[in-house]
């Protein structure tokens, strides 16, 4: 253990060195770790199983995850889309009822909570319906894409649920194999990537990384990846949609796909994680059930 006098001498010298060398200003920024809970593809609906999708059991799966999230020291929680599903016969009011039920569980803690839109979130309802029945914390309320900051880290949420003509996915009017970031949102993203100098985390439903099935990848993913790489600020992209999950590193950016919680019966199967981003830029994934643990090291530039 370092003795108090020795510690004070070391601290005094360190401050003197930083001030005299001009490094003090660069070290004043927040260096606190951020911790958040993440889950994706719950597909909640009170209906019969669809293959290996146990839609009605997603309430129990989310309750388990929320218990873990509440008992940890987290800065926020986020779900990556396909939050709810629909009945065998599509019905708007029924689908909204499923959404209200799963949202009540998601908002059952005092933690800031954020949503990412997935294709099934507009199966027989509109984006406006989804946003009016859910709540993003703070200034993100009512928005389908947005940015927020936590302890000196910028978090950017994207929405790729757009058709070839640039229109929104709406009440089932979409082809789930086609998703894209439209020009308006792309231009907004460019500004967000240039604004400030904080490290950035990206959250999106459909996938952006190259080495994955084109059916689950954003149509203009290559263009978006280039923007992220050129910014030299993006540490990681968190994705859902592809229920098996996966990981790829490209140009120093981690692309992590969280396995879908919907697959398999409860309690044997679930998927969620607690993510910690350290001041060094390293990312630790504490996965539960089907979500694997990972340590993602920051690439030194």
pLDDT for residue 30: 54
Runs of H (alpha helix) within 48-180: 58-70, 92-106, 127-132
Architecture of domain 31-296: 4-Layer Sandwich (3.60)
* Domains in the chain: boundaries: 1-29, 31-296
Structure tokens at 21: 């060398």
Residues 275 and 236 sit within 8 Å (Cβ to Cβ): no
pLDDT for residue 32: 87
Residue 236's φ and ψ, nearest 5 degrees, are -155, 155
- CA 145, CA 276: separation in Å to the nearest integer? 23
| Dihedral of alpha carbons 169, 173, 219, 243, sign | positive
pLDDT in tens, the chain (301 residues): 333 343 333 343 343 333 333 333 333 455 689 999 999 999 999 999 999 999 999 999 999 999 999 999 999 999 999 999 999 999 999 999 999 999 999 999 999 999 999 999 999 999 999 999 999 999 999 999 999 999 999 999 999 999 999 999 999 999 999 999 999 999 999 999 999 999 999 999 999 999 999 999 999 999 999 999 999 999 999 999 999 999 999 999 999 999 999 999 999 999 999 999 999 999 999 999 999 999 999 975 5
pLDDT for residue 31: 62
- CA 206, CA 215: separation in Å to the nearest integer? 10
Strand duo 253-257 + 246-250: pairing: antiparallel
Nearest to 277 by CA among 269, 288, 286: 286
pLDDT for residue 128: 98
Strand duo 34-39 + 271-277: pairing: antiparallel
**How many beta carbons lie within 10 A of that of residue 48, not counting itself?**
11
Structure tokens at 61: 């799966």
Strand duo 200-203 + 113-115: pairing: unpaired
Nearest to 105 by CA among 62, 69, 44: 62
pLDDT for residue 299: 77
pLDDT for residue 27: 34
Q: How far is CA 182 from CA 4, 141, 160, 164, in A?
A: 58, 21, 8, 9
Structure tokens at 249: 């590193």
| Dihedral of alpha carbons 237, 242, 246, 252, sign | negative
- What is the C-alpha end-to-end distance of the chain, expressed in Å? 34
């Amino acid at each position: 253990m370092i003795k108090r006098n020795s510690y004070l001498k070391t601290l005094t010298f360190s401050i003197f060195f930083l001030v005299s060398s001009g490094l003090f200003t660069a070290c004043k920024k927040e260096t606190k770790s951020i911790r958040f809970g993440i889950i994706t593809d719950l597909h909640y609906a009170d209906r019969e199983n669809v293959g290996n999708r146990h839609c009605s059991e997603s309430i129990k799966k989310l309750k388990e995850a929320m218990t873990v999230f509440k008992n940890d020291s987290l800065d926020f929680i986020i779900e990556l889309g396909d939050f709810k599903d629909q009945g065998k016969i599509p019905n708007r009011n029924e689908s909204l009822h499923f959404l209200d039920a799963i949202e009540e569980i998601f908002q059952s803690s005092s933690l800031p909570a954020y949503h990412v839109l997935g294709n099934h979130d507009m199966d027989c309802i509109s984006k406006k319906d989804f946003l009016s029945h859910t709540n993003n914390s703070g200034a993100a309320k009512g928005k389908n894409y947005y940015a927020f900051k936590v302890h000196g880290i910028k978090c950017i949420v994207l929405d790729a649920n757009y058709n070839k003509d640039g229109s929104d996915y709406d009440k089932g009017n979409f082809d789930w194999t086609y998703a894209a970031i439209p020009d308006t949102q792309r231009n907004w993203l460019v500004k967000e990537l240039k604004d400030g100098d904080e490290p950035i985390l990206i959250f999106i439903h459909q996938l952006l990384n190259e080495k994955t099935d084109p059916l689950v990848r954003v149509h203009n993913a290559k263009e978006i990846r280039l923007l992220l790489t050129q910014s030299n600020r993006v540490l990681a992209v968190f994705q859902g949609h592809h229920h098996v999950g996966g990981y790829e590193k490209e140009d120093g950016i981690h692309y992590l796909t969280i396995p879908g919680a919907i697959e398999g019966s409860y309690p044997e199967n679930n998927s969620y994680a607690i993510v910690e981003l350290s001041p060094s830029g390293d990312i630790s994934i504490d996965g539960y059930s089907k979500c694997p643990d990972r340590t993602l090291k920051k690439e030194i530039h």
